[in-house]
Copies of this chain bind each other. A is one copy, B any other.
Amino acid sequence: MRTGHSHLFIPGPTNIPEPVRQAMNVPMQDMRAADFGDLTLGLFADMKSVLRTEKGRVMFFPGSGTGAWEAAITNTLSPGDKVLMARHGQFSSLWVEMAKRLGLDVVVVDVPWGAGTPVKEFSRLLGQDREDAIKAVFVTHNETATGVTSDIAAVRRALDENFHDALLFVDGVSSVGSLDFRMDEWEVDLIVTGSQKGLMLPAGLGILGVSEKALEASRSARSRRAYFEFDDMLKMNADGYFPYTPPTQLFHGLRKSLDRIRAEGLEQVIARHHRLAEGVRRGVAAWELSLVAEHHTLYSDTVSAIRVPADVDARDVLRIAYADFNTSFGSGLGPLAGKVFRIGHLGDLNDGMCLAALSIAEMALYRAGVPIRLGSGVGAAQAWYATQADLRPMLRVAAE
């Protein structure tokens, strides 16, 4: 018998706010009803705000973010097309694998796990590509496995400085709705995300932002596709409908999530993620442990991947946290297994929750044999949070 609530600090799926959960707990309704668009049409508009695009189109595919990756590729590229990608973590590696399976000719740049997107190398390769053979550049905005946030604006500059017109694909699964992302300003052509991270919903929606240029590319792309066909989706979406049965309950949840983001303010949401993440990082520093991210400019505000001492198995930390303290942290993936545990700090969180995470992590580290002073990380985070609270907007009691 576990008592009390579970403590969920994985980097997604994230904690679902109560009002979002209640919004989803509704009876089934007719997705062909005359007024179904009253629910759905506003979602497209408000999702565009979160992506910071006015010109792009938004699509919601029933599926995971991985499905949305596939939708982005198959609608805009053809087998044999050359694309430029980096591998610097589990998710960027999986994306490379998918691109290959779908028949693309992938130019892979491998950099260490912990590094960001190798913008200089990308720039060099784009500069060499005189005939624009590279049809698309793929960037993982936030590599969830390593807690590394890459600089999308820099990649855009690399394209522009090389007068290269490749499409710019961005994996924003663990960044959209949490980190600063600007589709129009950075001229992103395909931004892919999912419902289960910054949008604070269960998994089940693969979400795409698609630029006019990407839509144009979709008219000639020859990859086979059916389920993920943009055309079918756009035609039906015009009136708020879908080409197959959509996950209506998730739409109700998304309505509430987008309302919450608007009520807090996207800028404030991003600032809050930074504030909470910084507290966690100060805690990690107090423990004298290091992050996987190679440099402070790469630190992710949605997830921290923390190295444990070499003589400790990070899996013990995870196991103790789960079994003894009803708490889930993220595991080390791929080559980081056993060396790293991750604290997800994105979505619907507050200071107290992050302090709970740190205090439990301390106990788990302690019990796993890491020589840590109990309370040290918490204290460092508190010193940050306790002096930051006045930066937050005053309490609006009636807000929710």
Contact = CB atoms under 8 A, between A and B. Distances in A.
A382 B396 contact: no
A154 interface: no
A362 B379 CA distance: 9
Interface stretch (A81-89, A95-103, A128-136): A95-103
A294 interface: no
A213 interface: no
A285 interface: no
Contact of A362 (B25, B224, B382): B382
A204 B4 CA distance: 22
A243 to B, nearest CB: 7
Interface stretch (A51-59, A305-313, A383-391): A383-391
A383 B378 contact: no
A348 B3 contact: yes
Contacts of A325: 350-352, 389
Q: How large is the interface on A (under 10, 10 to 19, 20 to 34, 35 or more residues)?
A: 35 or more
Contact of A4 (B319, B349, B396): B349
A116 interface: no
Given A1-B264, A350-B2, A382 B363 contact: yes
Interface in A364-400: 366-367, 373-376, 378-380, 382-383, 385-386, 389-390, 392-400
Contact of A224 (B6, B8, B223, B374): B223
A18 interface: yes
Contacts of A226: 66, 69-70, 97-98, 101-102
A67 interface: yes
Given A5-B353, A383-B374, A63 B65 contact: no
Interface of A: 1-8, 10, 12-18, 21-35, 38, 61-67, 69-70, 79, 97-98, 101-103, 194, 196, 202-204, 223-227, 229, 243-250, 260, 263-265, 268, 272, 319, 322-328, 330-331, 348-353, 355-356, 359-360, 362-363, 366-367, 373-376, 378-380, 382-383, 385-386, 389-390, 392-400
19 contacts: A1-B263, A1-B265, A2-B395, A3-B272, A3-B350, A8-B27, A13-B245, A15-B28, A29-B328, A38-B397, A62-B64, A64-B244, A67-B227, A203-B248, A224-B224, A355-B378, A359-B359, A363-B389, A367-B386
